[in-house]
Structure 1
Amino acid sequence: MLSDMIYWPGEEPGSPPREPGGAGKPSARVLIIEDDAGFAASLRRLLGNAGYQAEIARSGRAGLDRLSDFHPDLALVDINLPDMTGHEVIRAAREQDRDVPVIVVSGESEIDAAILALRLGALDFVRKPIEPEILLHSVARALAQRCLEREHKSARTRVDRSERLHRFLVDSSPDIIFILDETGKLSYVNQRLRDLLGLEEKQVVGRHFSRLVHEHDQKRARYAFSARKLAETARHSVELRLKSRADATGFRHFEINLAAVGFPGGSEMTGSAEPGYYYGVARDVTARREVEELAVYQANHDALTGLPNRTMFRDHLSLALIQAHRNQERIAVLFLNLDRFKHVNDLFGHAKADELLRQVGERIQHCLRGCDTLARFVGDEFLLLNASAKSDAEVLAVVERINRELAEPFKASGKSVHLSVSAGIALYPEHGETADALIRHANIALYHGRLSGSKSHTFFMQEMGDSTDQRLHLQGDLRHAIRHDQFEIYYQPQVDIRERRVKGVEALIRWNHPERGLLPPGEFLPLAEEANLIGDVGEWVIRDVCKTIRQWDVLGISPPRVAINISPRHLDESDFVERFVALLAEYQVDASRIEVELTENLFIRDPSAVAQKLQSLAAHGVMIAIDDFGTQYSSLSYLQKFPIHTLKIDKSFVWEIDREFRQHAIIKAIISIAHGLGLNLIAEGVETDEQLRFLELQGCDEIQGYLISKPLRREALEALMIQGMGSMPTP
Structure 2
Amino acid sequence: MRVDSYPLQSISPTIRHARCHLISGRATTLYLPYLLFAALGIAWIILSDRVLLGLNVSRDLIALTSFQTLKGIGFVLCTAGAFYYLHRRNKQALLDSTRSLESFGTIARASYDLIWRCAPSGQDYELLHASDVEKYLDIIEDPEGCVHPADRRGDMAGLVKGTGNKFEPYKTTTRLKVGGVYRYFETWVFPIFDRDGQLAEFFGTCRDVHEFVIAEQSLRRNEEMLRLAAEVGGVGIWEWDIPNNILEVSAETRRQYEADIHSPTDLKRFIHPDDYPEIRGAMLAAKSHCEPFDVQYRIITADQQLRWIHNKGAAVKGDKSGQKHMLGISQDITRLKQAESRLRQLAFYDPLTGLQNRQRGQDFLSHRLRDSEIDGNHVAVCLIDIDYFSSLNETYGPETGDRILLDTAQRLGTLCGPDDLLCRYGADVFLLVLCSSQPSDFLFRLEVLERQLADTLKIDDMRFFVSLSASYAQAPDDGSSANELLCAAQSAMYRAKHNSRGKLVRFSGNMLESSLRFEAIRNALKSAVSQHEFSVFYQPLYHLEDKQLAGFEALVRWTSETLGVVGPDEFIPIAERVGLIGDIDNFVLSEISHQISQWKTAGHDFKTVGFNLSPRNLEEEGCADVFHEKVEQLGLSPDELVLEVTETAMIHDAVTAASNIERLSDLGYALSIDDFGTGFSSLENLFRFTFKKIKIDKSFIQAITNSERHANLVRSVITMAYQLHMDVVAEGVETPDQLRLLR
TM-score (norm 1): 0.38
Structure of greater relative contact order (alpha carbons < 8 Å, 6+ residues apart): 1
Structure of larger gyration radius: 2
